[in-house]
Amino acid sequence: MSGSPFTIALVQETDHGSAAANLDACERAIIEAVAGGARLVLLQELHNSAYFCQTEDPARFDLAEPIPGPSTARLGTLAGELGVVIVASLFERRAPGLYHNTAVVLDSDGRLAGVYRKMHIPEDPGYYEKFYFTPGDLGFEPIDTSVGRLGVLVCWDQWYPEAARLMALAGAEILLYPTAIGWDPNDGPDEQVRQCEAWVGIQRSHAIANALPVAACNRVGFEPDPSGATAGARFWGHSFVCGPQGEVLAQAGDQNPQILLAQIDPARTEQVRRLWPFLRDRRIDAYGDLTRRYRDRS
């Protein structure tokens, strides 16, 4: 990514009711994004379906597919035809009883450039991901593509500075977060604002601490709880791109699907790191306790 500035597109979408309809919507959006100049397109988390983790339902494992598989084949063909890098998010069936929440990168020549398996798996009301997903085992390894070295992470990973830092230390040139996060409809407006601002704030801090651009693509719209036990989830959209000082370059709204375009200037990372040399001044000799769960006091 050490070349000239380029355009990134984030496809903020809603669930269209089936994998076929969702992939059709993604394909239309990718084509439109490329027509607008995009060389890199980021899709939202688990874009082929509704966010099925609101409940624990063994039948939902039928949504999973192998990687490589039908979705990577379709998106890879599209990437090759359009000459664009696509970052997608799939429910991976690795083996019987072994499933992951996996991001895939299709390079501009159509090949599968790499995969990232979500490392941090949440387990909260309405987000029962530990029932479905085995934690990732590929580590925090950037993926090389025709537009540069991509640090791909997924949703809950975005709250952890350690994940962003390890991607940066491995040479990532941009951090990308496919996301599915929303409000409980019973939350009051003040709480909704706090949650969304915290979500944007923590990711902007990763950009600042590592002098890297960050892009987070969230889904949008209301999805009911299939069990009827809760009020469902209203995904808050607000997909955004920020630069290496945390400056917001573009941000979507919270109500509708949107193709968000932003210009990325790879040269700014070098400029910012010369002025704010956080990597130079890290005290790596004093950080050993970061590998402990917690420092208990007797």
Q: What is the pLDDT confidence band of residue 61, given thresholds at 50, 70 and 90?
A: very high
Query: Rounded distance, CA 46 to CA 61, Å?
Result: 13
* pTM of the predicted model over 0.75: yes
The yes-or-no verdict on residue 47 having pLDDT over 70 is: yes
Q: Which helix (H) or strand (E) holds 23?
A: helix 19-35
Per-residue 3-state assignment (H helix, E strand, C coil) for 86-151: EEEEEEEEEECCEEEEEEEEECCCCCEEEEEECCCCCEECCEEHHHCCCCCCCCCCCEEECCEEEE
Residues belonging to the active site: 45, 118, 155
Bridge partner residues of 89 (DSSP): 103
- E-only strand ranges, the chain: 6-12, 38-43, 85-95, 98-106, 112-117, 123-124, 127-128, 143-145, 148-152, 174-179, 182-183, 214-218, 220-223, 233-236, 240-242, 248-251, 258-264
Note whether 151 and 206 are within 8 A (CB): no
In the chain, the domains with their CATH numbers are 6-277 (3.60.110.10)
pLDDT by residue (tens digit) across 16-40? 999 999 999 999 999 999 999 999 9
| Secondary element (H or E) of residue 37 | none
Q: Quote the pLDDT of residue 1.
A: 43
Query: In 3-state terms, what secondary structure has residue 270?
Result: helix
Q: Which two tokens stand for residue 271?
A: 């400029």
pLDDT tens, residue by residue, 161-215: 999 999 999 999 999 999 999 999 999 999 999 999 999 999 999 999 999 999 9
Question: At what angle are helices 70-82 and 19-35 packed, to 10 degrees?
Answer: 20
